[in-house]
Amino acid sequence: MKSYTLSSHASSSISPPPSLSFNTVTTFISSPLPLPSIVILIAVVIFFVGS
């Protein structure tokens, strides 16, 4: 139980940056953008996920 609490705390402390980037992606997609900007955004997301 103690290790479960520790791991859930670690995952919750790791969680904010992905949710922040997810909100940014949602904002970019919901706002009208030309296709090249979406392609660049996807490339940036793939770069962050890969690293």
What would the pLDDT profile of 38-48 be if each residue is shown by its tens digit? 788 888 888 88
Concatenated DSSP letters of 1-40:
-HHHHHHHHHHHHHSHHHHHHHHHHHHHHHS---HHHHHH
* Number of structural domains the chain divides into: 1
Residue numbers of the chain with a pLDDT score lower than 50: 1-15
What is the reported pLDDT for 35?
67
What is the reported pLDDT for 8?
47
Residue with token string 């139980």? 1
Structural domain boundaries, residue 43: 2-50
